[in-house]
Amino acid sequence: MPPVERSERELLESIIGEAGDRGHARPGEGLAIETRRLLLRAPTAADAAVIAELADNPRVAQNLLGMPHPYRIGDALAWIAEPAPANGQKHLVCVRARDAAPVPIGAVTLDHRRGARLPTLGCWLGEAFWGRGYSTEACHAVIDYAFLHQGHERLSFHCRVTNAAGRRVIEKCGFQWAGQELQASVFHGTVVAVDRFQIDRRTWESLRRWEPLRFVEDDGDAAWPLQGGRRPAEV
């Protein structure tokens, strides 16, 4: 049965209600990243049902090489349980809601595992949240953190050749086309054609115009802009 389409408002209200019933998931150890509209934080087991609801959609899975379909709570729990990659990133993307806890809408990662030659950026959102610039905003934050704080010199992004929306997002982030290859797709059960994109530090420095990042402590009380790749000496 195809997923029932729900508006962004309906999905937000549903998720906010469920979060209130089970208790809002804490950001977890370390820092979260705050942008103009979003909070990027570590996923927890309390987020599994929401992640599964957002991801269990063939229109989401068909463009992601490693996402299974159907996508169940067990899949979400397995992903949450995976440790963040060394010198990488793994965030739940949450939109800040007025008078409510930030609402999960998808995920963004920077992964240097699975034999990748370069740290690879990945992002997906629930369909109800497409077309609002959230993907671009989340990717900007991860790219900034990768260059400023993690010391990376070059990042990559892999996008199915049929994924025009993904290509637009990554080109707005300054990535440049670097070739094409075949990669295995869990959803399709075969290999699919993929465009490769890359951005290096010099290009990022020349193009960056978006707002500075803000870190938010686990308790939500302290925040500051990210400057020069280091936390301030005192908070």
Residues 197-207: tens digit of each pLDDT:
999 999 999 98
* Per-residue confidence band for 229, with pLDDT thresholds at 50, 70 and 90: very low
Q: Specify the pTM.
A: 0.79
Lowest model confidence (mean pLDDT) among 120-134, 176-190, 214-228: 214-228
Q: Which two tokens stand for residue 141?
A: 């934050």
120 phi, psi to nearest 5 deg: -110, 125
Q: Is 60 exposed, middle or buried (CB count within 10 Å of its CB: 0-12, 13-18, 19+)?
A: buried
More confident residue, 7 or 81: 81
Q: Is the pLDDT of residue 233 over 50?
A: no
Q: Is the pLDDT of residue 8 over 50?
A: no
Lowest model confidence (mean pLDDT) among 88-102, 127-141, 220-234: 220-234
* Per-residue confidence band for 12, with pLDDT thresholds at 50, 70 and 90: very low
* Per-residue confidence band for 24, with pLDDT thresholds at 50, 70 and 90: very low
Torsion over CA: 48, 158, 59, 32 (sign): positive
More confident residue, 28 or 215: 215
* Per-residue confidence band for 10, with pLDDT thresholds at 50, 70 and 90: low
**The pLDDT value given to residue 211:** 66
Domain range list for the chain: 8-154+211-220
**The pLDDT value given to residue 1:** 42
How far apart CA 224 and CA 36 sit, in angstroms, is 13
CATH assignment, 8-154+211-220 = 3.40.630.30
Q: Is the pLDDT of residue 7 over 60?
A: no
Which spans in 173-216 are helix H? Answer: 201-207
Residues 75-88 have a mean pLDDT of: 90
**The pLDDT value given to residue 99:** 76
